[in-house]
Amino acid sequence: MSLSKKLSNSSLPWFSIGIATIFCFSLVLHFWGLGRFNDLIFDEVYYAKFSNNYLIGKQFFNAHPPLSQYIIAIGMWLGSHLPFGQDTVNGLTGSLRSTWSYRWFNAITGSFIPLVVAAVAYQLNHRRSYALIAALFAAADGLFLVESRYALNNVYLVILGLLGQLFFLLALNQKAGKRWLMLILSGVFLGASATIKWNGLWFLLGIYLLWGTAWVLRSLRTRVASASQPGNPYASTRPQLSKPLLIPSPEEQRQRQLPSSRHSNPLANLTQIKLFHIVVSFAIIPFLTYRLLWIPHLIMNPTPGFWEAQVKILSFHENITSGTDVHPYCSKWYTWPWMWRPVAYFYDTALNTSEPVPLNPPLPRGMGQVVYDVHAMGNPCLWWLSTAAIILLLLVLVQRLLEGVGWKMPLTPYTGIALYLFLNWLANLLPWVRVSRCTFLYHYMGASVFSGLALAWLVDCWLSSKLPQHKSAGATVIVMVLLAFVFWLPIYLGLPLSPETYQLRMWFRSWI
């Protein structure tokens, strides 16, 4: 009996219990020791200061759009009025603030990312087991944990982009006459994601690629159908499907035998989205959202104006070069899926765990007996297996296209999911090929969500298989991901380590 079958036959609400447990687990980890390191960590030197500038009325220019600074500023103001989290304070932002005040909003946002990932997974095939595994993997990603525990902006970009994708999928699951609200909300969230950083547009690009591909495939099917009419000497026969590279679940196998429905295969409804919907929901609405969200910044910083600010932002990024002379942790886009060069956000040593950290001045090299390190790196096991999963999806798509799925016959739910995940992964990675400035591993966060969803889907298929070896493989992947997360957890949270145990976690020289 499959995992999903067992869960559905149980009187206990296992799905709700599982999701609630993952959320609580995520919440605890995001807030545990949040005030640790009474300092500005990595790009907190920009975003925490810029956010405080809004609160004190100081004018400034930022090389990114302003939405994340608004959010952090709101968190700082609220955090400064709460009766807790005030044990560590500093004046590094330009005002006397607690470290907790400029970090807690990021922490609560990051805690919700596994739930949003689960919602996206559920909308793809309405399998609770897939949603549960996807949420678990998202909660076990170290890079998202690190980014969520400091006043940085990437978690806002990702969660808003994913909400845009979620409402797009919800629109596909609606009847044609009821889609407008979901499409508009999708456009709003996608525009908001771009107001965090311009690379939030990659989530919008994923929708364009998916929609465009669906229409191309439909056009090809129409031509094939015309060529297959009786009396046409060039009529083709319906190809036989070979054994797939992945193992579809029993539920998906049943769906192949049933007529297509909007619930079993929402991606089959892509061509019901017309050009008018795309122009309004994914061009006009995102731009209006982007423009409106600039208004508070422009009221407090009237110069440069809106268009001049866009030119200055573009010029700033174009003038940043790359290489270790610019930043020691620069990395190329093609190294991100293999996590070749993580980023050290904080490193300090102490003689014992009772000493305050950071030390000023720091201890001479080699003198420290305790290492405190915060490494912005993903869960190695999760990332490497996710990269293998997305490559496997590409092979699946090539196999299915050669068989005619999509262009000789409609997309199956199985192939539709593979297409959705691969195109969105590609949309969040491919634009970086042309970027010449110094880039970092965290620029892969948007793409990593979809490779993680690919791995979760593969594991769900294995666990739903009748073959014991497939079930064992799925369970083994989950155990490996969780064990790896626990092993590297100290460098995600900045917990004290001996020099030996720290080096034990630095598997490659390029990680240090």
Q: Is residue 167 part of a domain?
A: yes
Half-sphere exposure of 177 (CA within 13 A, CB side): 0
Q: What is the pLDDT of residue 8?
A: 47
Q: What is the pLDDT of residue 400?
A: 87
Count of domains for the chain: 1
Read off φ and ψ for residue 442, nearest 5 degrees.
Answer: -65, -15
Partners of 89 in the beta sheet? Answer: 98
Owning domain of residue 22: 3-227+242-511
CA dist 437 and 395 (Å) reads: 32
Residue type at 382?
L
Q: What is the pLDDT of residue 407?
A: 74
DSSP 405: B
CB 4 within 8 A of CB 254: no
DSSP 282: I
| Alpha-carbon Rg for the chain in angstroms | 24
Q: Is residue 503 part of a domain?
A: yes
Q: What is the pLDDT of residue 233?
A: 45
Strands (E), 205-355: 343-350
- pLDDT tens-place values along the chain, 512 residues long: 455 555 544 556 889 999 999 999 999 999 999 999 999 999 999 999 999 999 999 999 999 999 999 999 999 999 998 888 888 999 999 999 999 999 999 999 999 999 999 999 999 999 999 999 999 999 999 999 999 999 999 999 999 999 999 999 999 988 877 899 999 999 999 999 999 999 999 999 999 999 999 999 888 888 877 776 665 443 444 444 455 555 554 444 544 443 334 445 788 889 899 999 999 999 999 999 999 999 999 999 999 999 999 999 999 998 888 888 889 999 999 999 999 999 999 999 999 888 888 887 888 877 889 999 999 999 999 999 999 999 999 999 998 888 887 777 888 888 899 999 999 999 999 999 999 899 999 999 999 999 999 999 999 999 998 999 999 999 999 999 999 999 999 999 999 999 999 999 999 999 99
Helix (H) / strand (E) containing 378? none
Nearest-CA neighbor of 183 among 193, 195, 174?
A: 174
Q: Is residue 237 part of a domain?
A: no
Q: Note the Cα 341 to chain centre separation in Å.
A: 19
Nearest-CA neighbor of 398 among 419, 417, 420, 412?
A: 419
Q: Is residue 111 part of a domain?
A: yes
Q: Which residues contact 296 (CB under 8 A, 6 or more apart)?
A: 54, 66, 70
CA dist 210 and 78 (Å) reads: 40
CA dist 494 and 331 (Å) reads: 23
Nearest-CA neighbor of 297 among 285, 311, 310, 287?
A: 310
- Could you report the per-residue pLDDT of 231-265, keeping only the tens digit for each? 544 344 444 445 555 555 444 454 444 333 444 57
CB 115 within 8 A of CB 138: no
Q: Is residue 233 part of a domain?
A: no
Q: Is residue 402 part of a domain?
A: yes
Nearest-CA neighbor of 190 among 178, 207, 204, 180?
A: 204
Structure tokens at 108: 């609560």
Instruction: Read off the pTM.
Output: 0.91
Q: Is residue 232 part of a domain?
A: no
CA dist 440 and 376 (Å) reads: 10
Specify the residue for token string 């640790």: 36
CA dist 376 and 489 (Å) reads: 11
